[in-house]
Structure formats: C-alpha cells, structure tokens
Amino acid sequence: MKVIILLGIALALAIDAFAVTVGLACSLSGLSRRQAFRLATHFGLFQFIMPVIGWVIGENLLRLISRYDHWVAFGLLLVIGFKMIIESFRVKDEKCQEKDPTTGWSLLVLALATSQDALATGLSLAVIGLNIWVACTVIGITAFSMTLLASRVGPLLGKVFGQRAELLGGLILILIGVKILVDHLN
C-alpha cells in the first residue's frame, strides 16, 4: 500500500512541473531538447532535495507530535492539495517571453516554485514512515520524466488540459491525506 501512496504523491508533486513545462512549451512554441533536459534536470533535482529538507524537519518534530502525526500529515496534504486546486483556476499569463526562461535565475525560480509543495510533503513522509531516499528518488525521477513528457506533448495539451492537470494533482493529494487520517483513526 505504501508503494501506491508513494506513486500518488510523486505524480501529484510532478503535476506542477508538468503544468509549468506545458505552459512554457506553449508560450515558446515548443521546447528544444536542450531546454527540455535543463528543465527536467532542475525540476527533478529540486523535487528530490526539497522533501529531504522537509523530512529532516519532520523527523525532529515527530517526537513532539507523534500523538497527532496523522492529523499533521492530513492537514499538510490538505493545504497543499487545496493550494494546487486554487492555482488550477487562476488564469495563466500566456504571453510569449523574450528571454529564455529555461536558463539562469528564471530556471532556478521555476524549479524552486514547483518544488515548494515537495518541501511540505517531506514533513508528511516522516509521519508516513516511508524510506526517505527511496521516496525522494521516486519523486525526483517522476518529476524528471513528467517534465520531459510535458515538453513534447505541451503544445498539444496546454490549452486543453494544463489547468485541469493541476486540479487533478490537488485532488490526489487530498485523497491521500484522507486515507492517512482514516487509516490512523481506525
């Protein structure tokens, strides 16, 4: 069951990277292989590192909150999920960009922005009891793969599914949070 939870978390977290990449692919009329690889590498790396940071924080807090850990995991996943759902309804600016957003500070800001949810999820990983290195590797590889996929299908899917994909990711995180809460209360 933990494998299914981990895959659900990894896919839900990768939705942000997927949505950003789809948006970039649409606004730039496609991405070169170099741009796609740069995005995938940075998104995957940040999605790997941020849960580790959250997990370290969570491990230290776990002793203090062990009686309420399932509520903490539920609350964090609920907040992250609702944040993703709200973001899915915001109108995205689809103006073409003059500067290549897959380089320099723009790339770092995008990687950081798409991995903020992974930091909070790292706190939940400590509560769930997943092996952090396996979990973060799966999360990082999933983000890398989803970014590469989005760079190829982005121009086709962007206008139709871009915002709905983020909505789905938010719903998945909320459902995982509900499952954790129900399992601990039973």
User: How is residue 171 written in tokens?
Assistant: 């719903």
Q: Which tens digit of pLDDT belongs to each residue from 32-65?
A: 999 999 999 999 999 999 999 988 887 777 667 6
Cut 0.85: pTM above it? no
Q: What is the pLDDT of residue 171?
A: 77
Q: What is the pLDDT of residue 115?
A: 84
Among candidate residues 125, 129, 151, the one with its CA nearest the CA of residue 139: 125
Q: What are the boundaries of each domain within the chain?
A: 2-185
**What is the distance between the alpha carbons of residues 23 and 131, in angstroms, rounded to a whole number?**
33
Q: What is the pLDDT of residue 135?
A: 92
User: How is residue 85 written in tokens?
Assistant: 């759902």
Q: What is the pLDDT of residue 95?
A: 41
**What is the distance between the alpha carbons of residues 130 and 3, in angstroms, rounded to a whole number?**
9
Contact by Cβ (8 Å): 132, 125: yes
Contact by Cβ (8 Å): 102, 35: yes
Positions of the chain with pLDDT under 70: 1, 27-29, 62-63, 65-66, 69, 91-98, 126, 157-166, 168-170, 172-173
Q: What is the pLDDT of residue 176?
A: 74
